[in-house]
Amino acid sequence: MNQVVPMLTTEEQVSNQILEPTGLSIGHLDKFLDQLHGKHIDAGDLYFQTSQHESWVMDDGIIREGSFSMEKGVGIRAVSGEKTGFAYCDDLQQNAITQAVKNARVIASLGQQTSTQITLNAQTFNALYTHKNPVDGRSADDKVELLKKLDVYTRSLDERIEQVIILLSGGIDHILIAATDNTLASDIRPMVRLNVTVLMHHKGRREQGSAGGGGRHGYDVFFDTDRSYELARDAVRQAATNLESIATPAGSMPVVLGPGWPGILLHEAVGHGLEGDFNRKGTSAFSNKIGQKVASSVCTIVDDGTLENRRGSLSIDDEGVPAECTTLIEKGVLKGYMQDKMNARLTGTRSTSNGRRESFAHLPMPRMTNTYMLAGESDPEEIIRSVDKGLYAVNFGGGQVDITSGRFVFSLSEAYLIDKGKIGAPVKGASLIGSGPEVMGQVSMVGTDLELDQGVGVCGKEGQSIPVGVGQPTLKIDQITVGGTDS
């Protein structure tokens, strides 16, 4: 007779992974928080994390790099007003954590401890992704075989291909959060990613194409579907397109942004300016403008951490707050900012589940999850037809933004001329230059074809990198400065 094994809750799984190996229990967390809290301390938390991560890099049919890493630790934060004391350690023994708690408290308060009573209450939330470990889901031989097959397939697509580089990576994090506001929350977060980069050579010219995808799920999507081969075809298409590209005309002109990944412009030029810390300090171009019109009336932008399996999603944020969808701009009017607990407390608002951190060794701060513009009412083809002379931007490369002014510069990795309402020749060396508030006011048409990116976004802020998602429908910007190679 088969024995029925009961399913463990997320909290039990995380406790088994993090606490039990070092003899700790939930009861110890209460004691650590009691020591952390008290006189001069407004809030505090413990953030436990264990991580496993692997990556494989195939270059020209050979595995050039392979790595596997494991990490564990706890970050301890004590907050007094706007002052934060922070300490972390990769030793999860009780004595080490007790010392880190004392250090964080002293840094924040410089005051004497008074006893308080913390009673932890487990958070309830909807799990947005599997709890299975991608690293264990397939053997190393299977992963190498996938890369070999993908390399051969990619090279078969075009005889002009000179080099193929394929990256496969995956990992899982176990998270446990305990806070002085009685929060007790846990999460198990998988992540996988596959990237294909192609270098193509023809008639003395070399161009590159790249495509990638991933999310909070297992490797199966790359093994059991056509997804990996779709990415290969897209990378080859981009490289071949760039081989045919011509110089970009410079100047002010209409620009149509394609659906999906071009939403990175919204993320950088608008999203960062709507994070709570910049607005509390008055350093954002959007500070003190809630209720005011900051974009065209056809623009509605949200930050949504509740999307299943998405790269930027979190069942709970890194302060234990269940995921939410936050409307930032509605029909052009600024509705609110993205908040973590600290900035929400200091501004008399509430956390919007945007408290995020790179790891236990970093402080949480307001960060985006999946930020995108909602679909509009315009036919995407009609948007293209409405432009006599302009640019159609399909893929973005790197960019820079000044939060205070909203000014940005973005390079385009794939773009085309628009001539008399039709998409024309591909162009090379294009960039978009402008400011977030000004460009949002220039959006005149928004398509019905909302798409999210393929799952490759990484956001940097104050030295911390985190996974994010972006998206948008096709949209038209009536006038924006295009930097080009043909003046």
pLDDT tens, residue by residue, 125-138? 899 999 999 999 99
In a domain, 4, yes or no: no
In a domain, 22, yes or no: yes
User: Are residue 176 and residue 28 in the same domain, yes or no?
Assistant: yes
User: Are residue 126 and residue 226 in the same domain, yes or no?
Assistant: yes
pLDDT at 4: 46
Q: Are 296 and 442 in contact (CB under 8 A)?
A: yes
User: Are residue 125 and residue 51 in the same domain, yes or no?
Assistant: yes
Q: Are 135 and 54 in contact (CB under 8 A)?
A: yes
From 218, 243, 268, give the residue that closes a domain: 243
User: Are residue 214 and residue 263 in the same domain, yes or no?
Assistant: no
Rounded distance, CA 429 to CA 405, Å?
25
CA distances from 43 to 80, 83, 320 (A): 7, 11, 14
In a domain, 398, yes or no: yes
User: Are residue 212 and residue 269 in the same domain, yes or no?
Assistant: no
CATH of the domain at 123: 3.30.2290.10
Rounded distance, CA 454 to CA 238, Å?
15
224-228 long-range Cβ contacts below 8 angstroms, 24+ apart: 227/194, 228/146, 228/150, 228/194, 228/196
From 243, 270, 301, give the residue that closes a domain: 243
Structure tokens at 344: 């929400």
Angle at 207 between CA 201 and CA 209, to 5 degrees: 115
User: Are residue 190 and residue 55 in the same domain, yes or no?
Assistant: yes
In a domain, 328, yes or no: yes
Residues spanned by the domain of 186:
10-243
User: Are residue 23 and residue 92 in the same domain, yes or no?
Assistant: yes
From 209, 243, 277, give the residue that closes a domain: 243
Q: Are 176 and 18 in contact (CB under 8 A)?
A: yes
Taking the model in full, what pTM does it have? 0.94
In a domain, 232, yes or no: yes
In a domain, 1, yes or no: no
Question: Looking at the 3D structure of the chain, how many domains does it have?
Answer: 2
Which residue, 318, 368, 323, is CA-closest to 127? Answer: 323
User: Are residue 211 and residue 331 in the same domain, yes or no?
Assistant: no
User: Are residue 362 and residue 463 in the same domain, yes or no?
Assistant: yes
In a domain, 3, yes or no: no
User: Are residue 355 and residue 299 in the same domain, yes or no?
Assistant: yes
The segments of the chain whose pLDDT lies below 50 read 1-2, 4-5, 111-115
Per DSSP, the three-state class of 211 is: strand
Q: What share of the chain is helix, strand, coil (3-state, %, to 5)?
A: 25, 40, 35
pLDDT tens, residue by residue, 252-275? 999 999 999 999 999 988 999 999
User: Are residue 259 and residue 193 in the same domain, yes or no?
Assistant: no
pLDDT at 110: 57
